[in-house]
Amino acid sequence: MTTMIPMTQDELDRRFMEIAIDVARRALPAEDVPIGAIVVHEGRIIGRGHNERERLADPTAHAEILALSAASQHLKRWRLDGCTLYVTLEPCPMCAGAIVLARMSRLVFGAFDPKAGACGSLYEITTDARLNHRVVTLGGVLNDRCADLLREFFRDRRVRGEK
């Protein structure tokens, strides 16, 4: 008889962040910034997204926004309470606002973003007590792996002479 050993929340967070990293790589063929996001509900992935700003010519086509939209379509509701968003980079103000407005329960992100991060670096939108909803927020999960993917992308662009 096989005994199932339940995973700790830390192990689950790392496992789902690995999947978000894989999703981020899908942005590379379009030469978009490799950021990936997944939404998890009751242990199942119900939404995925990677940056598609270049392909869609849409400034709002961030990984988080696309993953939230997919999850809402799956659940057939805009409220994403009971869900966790895993994203490889700390969300920007637009995405952090969408996370709060979606009533997301948890946010887990990989690399911190000192230039545009709105979940601890520059702003703390997801945990701001002045807002009508707060999101349990955890940053730095697989930070080095997430940051390395971004560093490699931007290094390659500089080598090719692109901004």
Asked whether the CA dihedral 136, 151, 58, 38 is positive or negative, the reply is negative
With a CB cutoff of 8 Å and minimum separation 6, the contacts of 132 are none
Give strand ranges (E) for the chain.
36-41, 44-50, 83-89, 106-111, 136-139
Per residue, the 3-state secondary structure of 151-162, as one string, reads: HHHHHHHHHCCC
Task: Give the C-alpha separation, 107 to 138, whole Å.
Answer: 6
64 classed as catalytic: yes
Of 18, 52, 54, 64, which one is the catalytic site residue? 64
Task: Give the C-alpha separation, 112 to 121, whole Å.
Answer: 7
Task: Give the C-alpha separation, 43 to 102, whole Å.
Answer: 19
The catalytic site residues sit at 64
